[in-house]
Structure 1
Amino acid sequence: MQVIVRDNNIEQAIRVLKKRMQREGLFREMRARTAYEKPSEKRAREKAEGIRRSRKLARKKAQREGLLPAPKRKVAARPR
């Protein structure tokens, strides 16, 4: 993974790097690899993730079909 530092702005480059790592799932993978996960715990976690994914897909499908209201959009704060 590579991040370009512009105008010696390291803080911005670190923010971009963290966001990319979050999107790729690296933080979750690092946390999972720190300790051994029992096979039964792994099955339970994967099952819960699958249920969460299917519920999210069903919710999005219902929103597209108009059965559920669309989520409220976040209003960005205006600079003062």
Structure 2
Amino acid sequence: MQVLVRDNNVDQALRVLKKKMQREGIFREMRMRDHFEKPSEKRVREKAEALSRVRKLARKRAIREGLVSGRPSAR
């Protein structure tokens, strides 16, 4: 991963780097590797992530088809 520093503005370059790392999921991966995860916990986590992806895709499809409004309902 590479970030250019323009006009000796290191703070801006650091912000850009952090944003890129966040988008790539590097921070999340570092947290996951920090501690050992049992295989059963890994299975449960991956299943939950897959379910979340499927629900998000279905929600986007329903919004696009007009079955559901794009706004969250006020409760």
Same fold (TM over 0.5): yes
Q: Which is helix-richer, 1 or 2?
A: 2
Identity value in percent? 69
CA distance in 1 between partners of 2:30 and 2:71 (Å):
32
CA distance in 2 between partners of 1:33 and 1:51 (Å):
22
- Residue identity opposite 2:8 in structure 1: N
Residues 1-80 of structure 1 aligned to structure 2 (within 5 Å): 1-71=1-71
Instruction: List alignment gaps of at least 5 residues for structure 2.
Output: none
CA distance in 1 between partners of 2:70 and 2:12 (Å):
33
CA distance in 2 between partners of 1:63 and 1:54 (Å):
14
CA distance in 2 between partners of 1:62 and 1:11 (Å):
42
CA distance in 2 between partners of 1:16 and 1:70 (Å):
30
- State the 1:4 CA deviation: 0.3
Q: Deviations over 1:19-62 (max 9, x none)?
A: 10011110111001111100010000000000100000000000
TM-score by length of 2: 0.90
- RMSD of aligned residue pairs (Cα, Å): 1.2
CA distance in 1 between partners of 2:5 and 2:71 (Å):
35
Q: Deviations over 1:5-24 (max 9, x none)?
A: 11111111111001100111
Aligned residues: 72
Once superposed, which parts of structure 1, at least 4 consecutive aligned residues long, lie more than 4 Å away?
A: none
